[in-house]
Structure 1
């Protein structure tokens, strides 16, 4: 089986939060850079560097969140967060659920919660929840697929 790639769906709520945060930080950054040009003002270089790094991190998360499935693993990446889960360790996939705490390399609500090992779970928001669950089930037919939405094709 070739590796199947899934982009992360982008929810308007997450877009507003990320864009609002970035615009606020850019406003502060520009205001501080303006203040630096005036005589007698001290420069807080460390603060400006941290502000720039946080802005970069937000863009990295927005533009580099994706998933892929091959015959052995589910790979995920969201900015600096990267990992893989053995597909044979997955026991259940919940479609249409939103997980509000825990590991969430996702940019949208109503994605999939992948339960693996004994107590571990992770939240993904692939562009197609059903296609993602079907790709997992193609590798491991023992995965239980449950959901809040009607699931016809699985």
Structure 2
């Protein structure tokens, strides 16, 4: 019974890590280091007599630092015979590959849903008006994996990317 089930799995899931470029590295780590400095200064201030503890502020600061680490170390995408799965910290989802109508390689989307850590990634247009931005470690391999599942996807390349 297990062997029969394995025959129906089709293509193996292909996993792509998110590429991390210099801009996002500086922004992410600069923010984390600044928050760690503030956290250390606040903890040092608490040790001094007569200073109250701002527990809520420390909890929020710790939560935001943890969230940024989670985003940095857990942003990736995978493609199987039916879906593109994405995860970036607590942001997770899937898109049916047959719903994808177009991908634009080398574009950067600055607003909207963008579980990504780099510029010049891939904008995936699906359904009628929906878009999402990914930054896989290889744009070409990612798009190739999509085309294996759905060869009817239109592929465009931004001129500056070429």
Aligned partner of residue 49 in structure 2, secondary structure? coil
Offset at 1:35? 0.6
Number of the residue aligned with 1:39: 49
Alpha-carbon distance in 2 for matches of 1:16, 1:51: 19
CA deviations 1:38-78 (Å, max 9, x no partner) are 11001000000000000000010000000000000000000
1:18-97 alignment runs, 5 A limit: 18-97=28-107
* TM-score, structure 2 normalization: 0.91
CA RMSD, 1 decimal: 0.6
Matched, 1:141 2:151: yes
| TM superposition shift of 1:97 | 0.3
- State the TM-score, normalizing by the size of structure 1: 0.96
Deviating above 2 A after TM superposition, structure 1's stretches of 4 or more consecutive aligned residues are none
**Structure 1 CA distance for aligned equivalents of residues 147 and 15 of structure 2:** 15
Alpha-carbon deviations, 1:103-145, whole Å to 9, x = none?
0000000000000000000000000000100100100011000
State the partner residue of 2:138.
128
Instruction: Identify unmatched segments of 5+ residues in structure 2.
Output: 1-10
The unaligned stretches of length 5 or more in structure 1 are: none
Aligned residues: 150
3-state SS of 1:53 partner: helix
